[in-house]
Amino acid sequence: MRLEPPTSVASPPQAPTPMPGNIPEPSTGSLAAGVGLAWLVMVVGEALVLFTGSLAAILGGIWLPPLAVIVWAVVLLNRGKSRTGKGMFLGLLSIVAVLLLLVAACFGLMSNYH
């Protein structure tokens, strides 16, 4: 049996057309990034408020970092980064939980000294 070379030139293969389901979805962000951003904003914001005492006295600056986290989370939720926005709210809740545990621990330590 003898094989003959093809007599006509084959056309180059066509690139497949993308299917509607193959288009990558836009990223909705990351929960971990939101939690990290919330902690970063709170730590850096509270440090700036404490080191600039005039801001704390004039504007009640101790509430500015939590307010910034809430506003930033709402902006992210409205712009389509829903997981990052939810992560920022979870980060704020974790900060409140750590604060509550620290206050409870201090009360527990101080209750032994009558």
Q: Domains of the chain: which residue ranges?
A: 29-110
Residues sharing a CB contact under 8 Å with residue 67, sequence separation 6 or more, in sequence order: none
Q: What is the pLDDT of residue 111?
A: 85
Instruction: Return the pLDDT at 108.
Output: 86
Lowest mean pLDDT among 11-15, 61-65, 109-113: 11-15
CA distance 19 to 98: 48
Longest dimension (CA), the chain: 106
Distance of CA 14 to the CA centre of its chain: 41
Q: What is the pLDDT of residue 101?
A: 96
Structure tokens given for 85: 């926005």
Alpha-carbon span 112 to 114, nearest angstrom: 6
Give CA angle at 100 (50, 57), nearest 5°: 25
Q: 15-29, 40-54, 97-111: which range is least confident on average?
A: 15-29
More confident residue, 29 or 58: 29
pTM score, two decimals? 0.70
Residue 98: pLDDT band (50, 70, 90) is very high
Distance CA 83, CA 21 (A): 22
Integer Rg of the chain from CA? 28
